[in-house]
Structure 1
């Protein structure tokens, strides 16, 4: 399913309407994504097909670089 720009703008507005700062906006937006995301799905990343099986939250204060594994 593909959203038009207007539909995507409406989803963003709905998700962030009660958020007061960027951290609340991010948390609200991620909640909407997790609610609407159909897992698992395949996607090409840099020419390699990967399977996305889960979403994981990182704390905003965690600035460490880490490698994420994909299959």
Structure 2
């Protein structure tokens, strides 16, 4: 997942990276898909206007990889 975090940074200014990494890391470190989805929706709601490309990246590419990871 680290490579997906780095890919997300392409779409944000450097001064915002610390906040973004905390939120995105909290999404893939939860034990269930439902909890991850809840955190992702919270991120999309609060930051989607500022970082729509990150939200789109996670919806279209990252989530497909994340779901099997959470089911382990």
Considering the TM-score relative to the shorter chain, is it more than 0.5? Answer: no
After TM superposition, the score normalised by the length of structure 1 is 0.34
Higher RCO, 1 vs 2 (CA within 8 Å, ≥6 residues apart): 2
Bigger Rg, which one: 1
Structure with more of its chain in helix, by fraction: 2
Structure with more of its chain in strand, by fraction: 1
